[in-house]
């Protein structure tokens, strides 16, 4: 009597959802960059048709915004009751720095984000900590904006540097070559730049970033109102 062979069970595919689409978009942006994010490429990665994706997102602009939101959301941990305002700001700033370092395309896309961008939530978190530092109300917007501008500017520049360097470029060798070039500049025209060439050669990007945050916070805390 012939035995019937069972057909192997097909692995059930996870249903298509907005979350899956956004996650796949982030992966595609990380590997192929902004130019590689097309609905055709995304559909291929998700093993579906472009039409199915349009049921969840209206177009590329919305998809990019959702991808940025997904990345930045990881930098917004829950409130830590034990953290001081200064510690909370440093942690948030470093989270944004690391997120943009890991996903260099984020910085370039933030300027094209709509008004209700994910960075607005970062600004809100910073502002609340500025208030907790007892900064006068008239100076709170300037203080929060200064921190925000520094975070986005430096983190974005670091991400841009990462994108500009070839993947096989050794960072230590690159910085050493730049520092060497600085030491060879005209001593009268570039006296300061020559004097800090050695610091460029051995600096740590994250440590320098946090040092800048501390400088701004030192100025902000000088404005704080005395306790009653």
Residue range 133-171, pLDDT digits in tens: 999 999 999 999 999 999 999 998 888 877 776 566 677
Domain range for 183: 80-221
Q: Tell whether 54 is covered by a domain.
A: yes
C-alpha distance from residue 31 to each of 26, 68, 155, 160, 162 (Å): 9, 15, 20, 15, 14
Within 64-116, strands assigned E span none
Main-chain phi, psi angles of 196, to 5 degrees: -105, 10
What the block records as the tokens of 8 is: 């192997």
Radius of gyration of the chain (CA): 23
Higher pLDDT, 182 or 12: 182
**Residue 114 pLDDT exceeds 50:** yes
The helices-and-strands tally (H runs, E runs) of the chain is 12, 0
Q: Which of 47, 73, 99 delimits the end of a domain?
A: 73
Q: What angle separates helix 119-132 from helix 85-102, to the nearest 10 degrees? A: 160
Structure tokens given for 130: 């500025």
CATH code, domain with 141? 1.10.357.10
Whether residue 51 is found in the same domain as residue 130: no
Mean pLDDT of the chain: 85
Specify if 8 maps to a domain: no
Residues 176 and 89 in one domain: yes
In total, how many domains does the chain have?
2
Q: Exposed/middle/buried for 68, CB within 10 Å: 0-12, 13-18, 19+?
A: buried
DSSP string for 50-62: HHHHHTT-SSHHH
Q: CB-based contacts of 211: which residues, under 8 Å, 6+ apart?
A: none
pTM over 0.95: no
């Amino acid at each position: 009597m012939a035995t019937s062979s069972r057909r192997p069970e097909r692995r059930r595919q996870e249903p298509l959802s907005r979350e899956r689409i956004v996650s796949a978009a982030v992966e595609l942006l990380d590997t192929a960059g902004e130019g590689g994010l097309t609905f055709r490429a995304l559909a291929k990665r998700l093993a579906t048709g472009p039409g199915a994706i349009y049921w969840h997102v209206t177009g590329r602009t919305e998809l990019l915004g959702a991808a940025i939101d997904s990345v930045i959301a990881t930098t917004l941990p829950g409130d830590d009751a034990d953290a001081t305002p200064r510690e909370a700001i440093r942690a948030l700033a470093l989270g944004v720095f690391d997120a943009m370092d890991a996903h260099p395309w984020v910085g370039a896309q933030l300027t094209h984000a709509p008004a209700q961008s994910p960075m607005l939530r970062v600004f809100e978190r910073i502002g609340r900590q500025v208030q907790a530092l007892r900064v006068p109300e008239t100076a709170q917007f300037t203080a929060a904006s200064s921190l925000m501008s520094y975070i986005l500017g430096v983190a974005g520049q670091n991400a841009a540097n990462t994108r500009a360097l070839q993947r096989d470029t050794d960072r230590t060798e690159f910085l050493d070559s730049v520092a060497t070039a600085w030491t060879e500049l005209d001593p009268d025209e570039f006296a300061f730049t020559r004097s800090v060439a050695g610091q460029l050669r051995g600096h740590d990007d994250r440590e320098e970033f946090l040092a800048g945050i501390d400088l701004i916070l030192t100025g902000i805390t000088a404005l704080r109102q005395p306790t009653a």
